[in-house]
Amino acid sequence: MASSAPSSSNDAPDPAPTNLRPTTYDSWCGVAHGCTRKIGLKICGFLQRTNSLEDKGRIVGSLKERQSSKNLLACENSEREARFRRTETDFSNLYARDLLPAKNGEEQTMQFLLEVVDILLNYVRKTFDRSTKVLDFHHPHQLLEGMEGFNLELSDNPESLEQILVDCRDTLKYGVRTGHPRFFNQLSTGLDMIGLAGEWLTSTANTNMFTYEIAPVFVLMEQITLRKMREIIGWSNKDGDGIFSPGGAISNMYSIMAARYKYFPEVKTKGMAAVPKLVLFTQNIHYSIKKAGAALGFGTDNVILIKCNERGKIIPADLEAKILEAKQKGYVPLFVNATAGTTVYGAFDPIQEIADICEKYNLWLHVDAAWGGGLLIANSVTWNPHKMMGVLLQCSAILVREKGILQGCNQMCAGYLFQQDKQYDVSYDTGDKAIQCGRHVDIFKFWLMWKAKGTVGFENQVNKCLELAEYLYTKIKNREEFEMVFEGEPEHTNVCFWYIPPSLRGMPDCDERREKLHRVAPKIKALMMESGTTMVGYQPQGDKVNFFRMVISNPAATKSDIDFLIEEIERLGQEL
């Protein structure tokens, strides 16, 4: 049914990681893929050639485990592992208090959870079924009034488990199928089955990342995965740092905190009043740097926006000019945020030239690769597996080249949590690196997906999305119904375009046309949501009026779904 992993080809370049400064997207990708292939070859070669006892032992152990797992699967209703079968159960007289840990609650519990699973499996099945809608749209007031008995209000008294199951069905019914092959609305789309299994397990394990004590396996998985990510980025020192955080905005916030602490460690105790007036530089495309600037006490006035070219890439000369201008005014430039794959255009900032400027002025370079990912030159990197890699929300990592900064920056040494007299190596208690105290287990689903797909699997998945973006671009670029927002091929999976309704075709560019065109995308989007057939984002950007931003990160999408989107936009927009 399925073959083993594809063999790696040997024709990729083999660059030394420290000298890599790809400037174009092609070289950037080439290097990233080359690096990936190289790691693949190394591991494959290693497994084929090695005869060391340890590795033999590991392979044999793994085979043994498989064997025992087979036995286990075959062993129906053994004492150790029960197999659960659903039976018809009347939930109308059962309540939450009848479930475990209630006495004799096991059977009801298993039946209830199996019933929930049935609802979820039906949802999963429909998610991938193109004959179903992406959403069944209702306005807030409609849902608040209660749709066909779906009552959102909370009450003092319990509802029966039967009603709880109905609530679960209704919650899914009135929601949005973000894994539907025709959901293109956000950067995070798709519903990965391994990731889903991982998240179900994570919920069931219900633990907390702050100490090794209560999350031993997850803490190690995080450490191993962060190291792997740093290797792929290309950082040569083994001792970098990082942590999974609740999303890219928080990862970016960590990068600013790390930079500030690195250059001005006294800020931790004395605050912003004790340091010079610091400024941060970024392009205007994502608000997370401004948000973090406000939160961390820099002030948004001190987040200086760098000009971009027509493709949405930072103009390095403008960055340098603004650094000099800030210095002349008595400010101290601290930090530059470059983006690898911007939110709207999917643009890659010229990382190498920015890195040179940062080196010249001794600034911290952070790369927000939340959407792009890959191989980079930076002091820190934000990498969101929940975007391009299709991991379930939430899954974002902040990676720092230098070890110890996160710990130094955030450590408060709470004695009640991070006791130093534990019996194990307490350096595995990672909680004091975080700005959170408790921290959700975001690692397992990602680790499990990596196990199940391998690096090559992720590579194929990303490549497929890139190919679909190219397909879309090629298909619409020369048609009168569409107009591209910028010239040239997309660098990422973002394809930005206007739909030109019949009434505006051939009309010369003027204020009237611009005003009318500005209203086209919102109208089509509203009709699209009403009909529930597909979802795609739109926004204005700088002096550009509202345009569609198509993004492809959903592994379920195929060329037919791209075709459908185009036809649907034309269908909904033909009367405008």
Residue 23, phi-psi category: left (phi > 0), alpha (psi -120 to 50), beta (remainder): alpha
Residues 69 to 88: which contact a copy of itself by CB under 8 A? 69-70, 73-74, 81-86, 88
> Do 136 and 174 form a contact (C-beta atoms < 8 A)?
yes
Asked whether position 153 contacts a copy of itself by CB under 8 A, the answer is yes
Contact positions with a copy of itself (CB under 8 A) in 281-310? 285-288, 290-302
Please tell me whether residue 175 binds a copy of itself under the rule CB under 8 A. Answer: yes
Query: Under the criterion CB under 8 A, does residue 409 sit at the interface with a copy of itself?
Result: yes
Buried b (16+ CB within 10 A) or exposed e, 204-237: eeebbbbbbbebeebbebbeebbbebbbbbbbee
Binds a copy of itself by CB under 8 A, chosen from 12, 332, 435, 576: 435
Q: How far is the CB of 531 from a copy of itself (least distance, A)?
A: 12
Contact 522, 545 (CB under 8 A): no
Rounded to a whole number of angstroms, the minimum distance from the CB of residue 453 to a copy of itself is 5
Strand 544-550 with 535-541, pairing:
antiparallel
- Helix 443-476 to helix 193-205 angle, to the nearest 10 degrees? 150
Residues 124, 193: Cα–Cα separation, whole Å = 9
**Residue 192 or 353: which CB sits closer to a copy of itself?**
192
Which stretch, 21-29, 215-223, 472-480, 498-506, contacts a copy of itself (CB under 8 A)?
Answer: 215-223
Residue 1 engages a copy of itself in binding (rule: CB under 8 A): yes
For residues 113 and 315, which CB has a smaller minimum distance to a copy of itself in the complex?
113
Interatomic CA distance for residues 182 and 532, integer angstroms: 10
Nearest to 533 by CA among 570, 483, 493: 570
Residues 6+ apart with CB under 8 A from 222: 209, 243, 244, 430, 443
Q: By C-beta, is 11 or 156 nearer to a copy of itself?
A: 156
Q: How far is the CB of 267 from a copy of itself (least distance, A)?
A: 7
Report the alpha-carbon distance of residue 444 to residue 564 in Å, rounded: 35
For residue 12, state whether it binds a copy of itself (rule: CB under 8 A).
no
Q: Supply the minimum distance, in Å, between the C-beta of residue 445 and a copy of itself.
A: 8
Among 171, 463, 474, 560, indicate the residue that binds a copy of itself (CB under 8 A): 171
**Helix 216-233 crosses helix 443-476 at what angle (to 10 degrees)?**
40
Rule CB under 8 A: say whether 262 interacts with a copy of itself.
no
Radius of gyration of the chain (CA): 26
Query: Which of these segments, 12-20, 155-163, 332-340, 508-516, binds a copy of itself (CB under 8 A)?
Result: 155-163
Question: Rounded distance, CA 457 to CA 2, Å?
Answer: 13
3-state secondary structure of 396: strand
Nearer to a copy of itself, 10 or 423 (CB): 423
| Residue from the set 18, 23, 26, 201 that interacts with a copy of itself by CB under 8 A | 201
Ranges within 466-505 binding a copy of itself (CB under 8 A): none
Q: How many residues bind a copy of itself (CB under 8 A)?
A: 215
Among 15, 133, 217, 318, binds a copy of itself (CB under 8 A): 217
For a copy of itself, the binding residues in 327-386 under the rule CB under 8 A are 343-344, 386
Cβ closest to a copy of itself, residue 22 vs residue 555: 555
Of 16 and 413, which has the nearer Cβ to a copy of itself? 413
User: And the tokens for 102?
Assistant: 């209630």
* Angstrom distance (rounded) from CA 277 to CA 217: 43
Q: In what order do the strands lie in the sheet with 482-484?
A: 183-184, 535-541, 544-550, 495-499, 482-484
3-state secondary structure 465-489: HHHHHHHHHHHHCCCCCEEECCCCC
Write down the least CB distance from residue 317 to a copy of itself, Å. 26
Q: Applying CB under 8 A, which of residues 27, 33, 124, 532 lies at the interface with a copy of itself?
A: 124
Let me know the angle formed at the C-alpha of 192 by 245 and 99, rounded to the nearest 5 degrees: 80
Q: How far is the CB of 191 from a copy of itself (least distance, A)?
A: 6
Nearer CB in complex with a copy of itself: 3/478: 3
> Please, which of residues 515-544 interact with a copy of itself by CB under 8 A?
519, 522, 525-526, 529-530, 535, 537-541
- Please say which residue, 449 or 469, places its beta carbon nearer to a copy of itself: 449
